[in-house]
Structure 1
Amino acid sequence: MRIGILLPESKTTRYEAFDRPLLQSELQKLLPGVQIDYYNAGQNATTQQTQVDTALTKGDKVLVLDAVDSKSIQNSVQKAHDAGVKVVAYDRLAQGPVDAYVSFDNVKVGQLQGTALLAALGSDAASKQIVMINGSPTDPNAAQFKQGAHSVLNGKVKIGKEYDTPEWDPNTANQEMAGAITALGAPNINGVYSANDGMAAGIATALSAAGMHVPLTGQDAQLDALQRIQAGTQTMTIYKPYQPEAAAAAAVAAQFAQGKTPGSDLLPDSVTSGSGNKVPAKLITPIVVDKNNMCQTVVKDGLYTAAQIGITC
């Protein structure tokens, strides 16, 4: 029995450090003797399409797919479907006839980020101005984070500049932030919405270069982000526990691999993809992490030790 795991990139530390080993160990636990074929697309949509072709040629019966580009992967998903291969969309909802989707409530992520930013801005947020630096336009999750953030921020604070950042690139985010500072003036920027921690790193560098200290959001609970939160140069991050996400995806994939249809116990939710396909899903609730709850969240779950972050629990 063969299962393919196709992850999108390695710039974001989570994929190689957490998702890959967790998915592999969960699948091996559920399906002793399973052959796992692993692919990382390096943020290249064309590469990922080729990798799907390779997985199908090798005889993989289930694909756990985290799409680089949810739209361009649609033909590959259709190929898999036509070959009788089940596709579990992981973390990002690919277009086409995917069989299941396991991720987090991404609109909720944006809402939590926006709420935290407003709280950090204080009771006079309406008189203040922020910059929004969103994720990649090819990532459907980015659109949902953005939607959730806007649902909270619109009308509550002025949005002076807003960017959609190709490939979630930290260097591009750094340039966007520097451009916003030039355009608006450092004294006129009171906070920054960053959709993830990788970009927040680039943004924090631009803020520091301009001598600015303002609230800054993030997501993914990367180690460097937790260290920035402790240092006061980032306000919060979103912790999405990778273990339950990987375990849920592996459980669904294992059912498909055995010729079974996962029930509502594994897939209690439902979503509609960008191609209009209705997909049974499991959406996990994300967690806000700030200076006050690291010990109770990321340290308690074993994501990092207190020493790695530089705190005492």
Structure 2
Amino acid sequence: MGMVAVAAMSTIALAGCSSNGSGGGSGSSGGATSAAKKTACVILPDTESSPRWESGDRPALNKALNDAGFNANIQNAQNSTSKYTQIAQSQLTKGCGVMLLVDLNGVGATVLQKAHTAGVPVIAYDRPIKGADYYVSFDNEKVGELEGQMIVDGLKAEKKDPKTAKVVCMSGDPTDGNAAFFKSGALKVMGAAGIKCALSPAGTWDATKSGTEFQQAYTTLKGNIDAVWTANDANNAAVITVLNKYNKTVPTSGQDASVAGLQNILLGKQYGTVYKPYQLEAKQASEVAISLLQGKKPSAPTTQDGVPSYLLTPILVKADNMKQVFDDGNATTSAVCTGNVAAKCSAAGIS
């Protein structure tokens, strides 16, 4: 119902929202309704999967919306689906002109239905939600392709035949739609090179659990591992901790250009990372939200699963182009170039 919903809402949906069900009627006055029409309600998923949500997306979205003359009600679900639902109910009761939802373990679909019932359009932010009015993210299948290519190139650099290499595939949480895109893209590229996953644990965005999953895989394969495809830097840091325990170094992958990821690249323990500047995503999502709050219907350049979508281009980062991350302000040399990494930074011309 995504495109139909937006068409209908362009004239009436932004008149605010009222609670339905057990939340109780708001009995909004004209002033309250006006405030709702000027409010973008945002739900972020957690603080564990990435530091970007609080340190990056929150202030960027808040500033863009405020600068355009709108209010931003931004809350974090702290990795709790029940808290996510409670936040959504509270926001809808107070009033929203538009909702930006980062899905968390599938709960975004339930909140989307409540928002649509209340006449509020929904932007799926970073992670897909079926039936959303718009989707703003990076091209996440491309992210997976870049990660898969890291493994292919890493094996070739070590003169290992991809067709016979034993590769462990460490996915993200299977309930996250993006995790499926990452894995699909990676398998496409690795499969084309003849790589088959020797083991594929269930997947998670909890780094500690990911480390446990990899330890089990390492034990099962008796350490006979030539590379590890890992969906993000945080999980890959846990993988590398296990590898370090056995004094083993193999090509690994990741994304997010995190401090740990950048350090592991410089140390030669991670082939690269996929860099997705949150500023670009927040800017695009804010523009879509502002248009909807103004009663307009933005025209998206593409669709994904039937949802009008804005898919930004991810960037492969290695030691030779890492400077871009620092120049963009998304990492600092003081945080990355510490301890045994300092000499590696100097060798790479990073200061």
For normalisation by structure 1, the TM-score amounts to 0.92
Q: Deviations over 1:139-178 (max 9, x none)?
A: 0000010000110112622421112323x01111111111
Partner of 1:18: helix, strand, or coil? helix
In structure 1, what is the equivalent of residue 174 of structure 2? 137
- 1:92 and 1:271 map into 2 onto residues whose CA distance is 12
Structure 2 unmatched ranges of 5 or more: 1-37, 338-344
Q: Show the counterpart of 1:269.
A: 302
Aligned to 1:291: 319
| Cα distance in structure 1, aligned partners of 2:314 and 2:230 | 16
Is 1:103 the counterpart of 2:111? The answer is no
What secondary structure is seen at the aligned counterpart in 2 of 1:55?
helix
Distance in 1, Cα, partners of 2:271 & 2:329? 22
Q: 1:56 aligns with which of 85, 92, 96?
A: 92
Q: CA deviation at 1:271?
A: 1.1
Two-structure CA RMSD over aligned residues (Å): 1.4
CA-CA distance at 1:305 after TM superposition? 2.9
2-side partners of 1:156 and 1:17: how far apart?
Answer: 40
Aligned residue-pair number: 298
* 1:281-308 Cα distance to aligned partner (Å, 9 max, x none): 100010011111101x212222123343
Aligned AA (1:45): T
Tell me the residue number matched to 2:208: 171
Residue 342 of structure 2 corresponds to residue 304 of structure 1? no
Instruction: Return 5+ residue gaps in structure 1 as ranges.
Output: 273-277
% identity of equivalent residues: 38
Q: 1:73 aligns with which of 105, 108, 114?
A: 108
| 2:9 match | none
Distance 1:307 1:156 in 2: 41
Q: Equivalents in 1 of 2:124, 2:105: separation in Å? A: 12
Q: Give the Å deviation of 1:22.
A: 1.1
SS for the counterpart of 1:126 is: coil
Does residue 1:94 correspond to 2:121, yes or no? no
Taking structure 2 as the reference length, what is the TM-score of the superposition? 0.82
Contact 1:177–1:207 under 8 Å retained in 2: no
Paired AA for residue 164 in structure 1: A
**Would you say the 8 A contact 1:194–1:200 is kept in 2?**
yes
Partner residue in 1 for 2:184 = 147
- Is residue 244 of structure 1 aligned with residue 280 of structure 2? yes
Code of the aligned partner of 2:244 = S
Tell whether 2:212 aligns with 1:185: no
> 1:74 and 1:231 mapped to 2: Cα distance?
41
Partner residue of 1:125? 162
Aligned to 1:245, the other structure's residue is in SS state helix
SS in 2 for 1:283: strand
1:2 aligns with 2:29: no
